[in-house]
Structure 1
Amino acid sequence: MERRQFSGAMQGRNLRFLGGGDGARKRQAQVGFLLLEHFSLPAFTQALDTLVTANLIRSDAFLTCTFSLDGESVTSDLGLVICPGAALAVASLAQLDLLVVCGGLRTPLRASPELTRLLVLAGEKGVALAGLWNGAWFLGQAGLLDGYRCAVHPENRAALAEIAQLSDVTSESFMVDRDRFTAASPTGAFNMVLEWIDALYGRELVEAIVDILAFEESRFRRTRPALHEKLSEPLREAINLMSANIEEPLSQEQLASYVGRSKRQIERLFQQQLGTTPVRYYLELRVTESRRLLQHSDLPMSEVSLACGFVSPSHFSKCYTSFYGYPPSKEVRHGYVKSTKKP
């Protein structure tokens, strides 16, 4: 059977199941984390976990390493002691694509000539620079945020604005401005790294990462495709209706009626903004949902077929195989969510 490809709208949600490891960018991107005393462990792990998860989808896409200024262990804000891989040195900078300065609520805002020198050298070598929590203060102190927008924890916003008067210190949880990436919180760190990955590999990999890390969303609830902020309101409404009507799919006429548009107008919206048709999108949505149920429930295949709106188990099997390359009977059954049916 000839394999079918998911459209761009649903490709990201299924990327890790389709062997999507061959990206256009072949060189492994290297990320260095400079751990300052009392750095925010949650912000650091959010950023690191995002990169590690990306490697589960695109094998060896990123290499990560940790540094301290002297190579000695560093105590995080939670009191856990982390032993970095090495001291940050000039030789280290040549290998890096991104250097992340990891600060925290109790990280002293104290200028270090050696750190300033290394950060300036990194900028001159074209290394993208990032700051977590109050890490942006050290970038600003080195003059590396002049003309840039940035984010920093609210406790340090005034201090950064004072020392980096040529930068725009925002109240956002994260900010990406060209080759400067800053985050004020753990959630901001997560989104900041996603933006960097998006620039390297595109939105499909980002959506695949989110699908893994958004645990409750991807494993216990119905699939909700990430909606691009530029989607029109009628299209958003149509997609929400599809997501809410998986078991008994709406006809195209019903969908158009509920949205208040003609069938032709709905088709045009899907084609223009998602590059696919409503029928194709609905099928991909149901197939993706069936994969989630197979993996994370103990429902028999016949009930999964019914729950996802397929007219028969044979039709379900054919559709599933055409997208994933193997029949639903071969899907890994983790069985995390037990059905409530009595034996």
Structure 2
Amino acid sequence: MPTPRHFSKKTSTTNMLNLKHPEAASSPAWRVGFLLLENFSMASFTVAMDVLVTANLLQNNLFSITPLSLGSERVTSDLGLEIYATPFERPALDLLVVCGGLRTPLKYPELDKLLADAADHGLALGGLWNGAYFLGRAGVLDGYSCTIHPEQRASLAERSPQSSITPASFVLDRDRLTAASPNGALEMMLALLKLQQGEALAAGVEEILAFSGARFRRVDSSSKKSMSVPLRTIVELMENNLEETLSLDQLATYSGRSRRQIDRLFQAQLGTSPSRYYMELRITKSRRLLQYSDLPLMDVAIACGFVSVSHFSKCYSAYFGYPPSREQRLGE
């Protein structure tokens, strides 16, 4: 079996589903519990959990995730939807995240001892929406920076004068993680993932989750935002012409740049050549079509600009280490 080629920086994140690291499976999963309080923010909870679930798709066995409750087997969210949860009975965890919401009552006196005990046992602690309030009340935010939804900022300041409350969307301060909104929850978990597993995996998760919920349109990922305008123009030309590929001369004509300028842009910002980057885009599209459609191999090859199945198979094997005929077909 041939050794897979390495994708260049940007396209490697898109293809991480096929480039699993075998050593990840032997590492113990980091155990994360989400403690759901009454009327918790469903959006904050699901987006935070989605980051971890997606990371598990890219690398095996990174996180073990458990929704928890303070007794009931079902907890009602701010949307009126019920989530099944495991009653909290001092489970073995590495991170405990308190999930609150706009209408979550500031009660739960039993949380004070629970969180203090968790801190004494070295657990990392987090709070979503107004979850930081309960951390502050338990005294486990003393000496830490944190954030909370603006509606509860005054309450937290009164309960936890020894903590530094910021207006940031999220704060990751050592072993305390707090987020004030659903967007903050996403950024917080991506920051945690980057800290624990490195920038490449975090970028891979962000690449998958970077969609506009309103219209399901792709939002520019951080890697694309970092490109200069001329390079972004050329990359978009490539992305829009995968079936009938453009020559380097055509790219130069349409972008108003010389061939030499284009080559310099790719080498300086992406560390690869235009032709190799173009190939990686085509290979990436072919993998998506193979996995998520029932198109025959020939149709996939044509849709991605390959003149024959044999050429397509050779290029595919060069990157993934196996031919496209062995790809998992989820659409069949």
TM bracket, shorter-chain basis: 0.7 to 0.9
Mapped to 1, the partners of 2:291 and 2:82 lie a distance apart of 37
Mapped to 2, the partners of 1:105 and 1:310 lie a distance apart of 53
Q: Is the 8 A contact 1:223 1:288 kept in 2?
A: no
Offset, 1:147: 6.2
Task: Tell me the alpha carbon deviations over residues 84-118 of structure 1, each in whole angstroms, 9 at most, x when there is no partner.
Answer: 434354xx4xx433220111222112373x53344
Q: Is the 8 A contact 2:177 2:188 kept in 1?
A: yes
AA aligned to 1:170 is P
Offset, 1:262: 4.4
Q: Which residue of 1 aligns with 2:127?
A: 131
Q: Which residue of 1 aligns with 2:86?
A: 85
Mapped to 1, the partners of 2:82 and 2:309 lie a distance apart of 54
How do residues 42-57 of structure 1 correspond to structure 2 at under 5 angstroms? 42-57=43-58
Q: Which residue of 1 aligns with 2:282?
A: 286
Mapped to 1, the partners of 2:75 and 2:260 lie a distance apart of 61
RMSD: 3.5
Give the alignment's TM-score, normalised by structure 1. Answer: 0.78
Q: Is the 8 A contact 1:30 1:63 kept in 2?
A: yes
Q: Where does the alignment leave 5 or more consecutive residues of structure 2 unmatched?
A: none
Mapped to 1, the partners of 2:317 and 2:217 lie a distance apart of 23
Q: Which residue of 1 aligns with 2:327?
A: 331
The 10-residue stretch of structure 1 (185-194 or 236-245) with the greater mean CA deviation from structure 2: 185-194
Mapped to 2, the partners of 1:222 and 1:247 lie a distance apart of 20
Task: Tell me the alpha carbon deviations over residues 153-209 of structure 1, each in whole angstroms, 9 at most, x when there is no partner.
Answer: 34334434554565243263x444443322334444334223212222223333444
- 1:98 pairs with one of 95, 98, 109: 95
Q: Is the 8 A contact 1:13 1:204 kept in 2?
A: no
Residues matched between the structures, number:
327
Q: Where does the alignment leave 5 or more consecutive residues of structure 1 unmatched?
A: 337-343
Q: Which residue of 1 aligns with 2:309?
A: 313
How do residues 134-213 of structure 1 correspond to structure 2 at under 5 angstroms? 134-145=130-141, 150-161=146-157, 163-164=159-160, 166-170=163-167, 172=169, 174-210=170-206
The SS at the match of 1:246 is coil
Task: Tell me the alpha carbon deviations over residues 42-97 of structure 1, each in whole angstroms, 9 at most, x when there is no partner.
Answer: 4323323432333233222112234334x4445322445555434354xx4xx433
Mapped to 1, the partners of 2:10 and 2:329 lie a distance apart of 26
The 10-residue stretch of structure 1 (179-188 or 2-11) with the greater mean CA deviation from structure 2: 179-188
Q: Is the 8 A contact 2:20 2:60 kept in 1?
A: no
- Relative to structure 1, the CA distance from residue 316 to residue 61 in structure 2 (aligned partners, 3 Å threshold; closer, same or farther) is same
Q: Does 1:227 pair with 2:228?
A: no
How do residues 233-272 of structure 1 correspond to structure 2 at under 5 angstroms? 233-256=229-252, 258-272=254-268
Offset, 1:246: 1.5
AA aligned to 2:178 is T
Q: Is the 8 A contact 1:15 1:204 kept in 2?
A: no
Mapped to 2, the partners of 1:38 and 1:117 lie a distance apart of 22
The 10-residue stretch of structure 1 (321-330 or 182-191) with the greater mean CA deviation from structure 2: 182-191
Mapped to 1, the partners of 2:145 and 2:49 lie a distance apart of 23
Give the alignment's TM-score, normalised by structure 2. Answer: 0.80
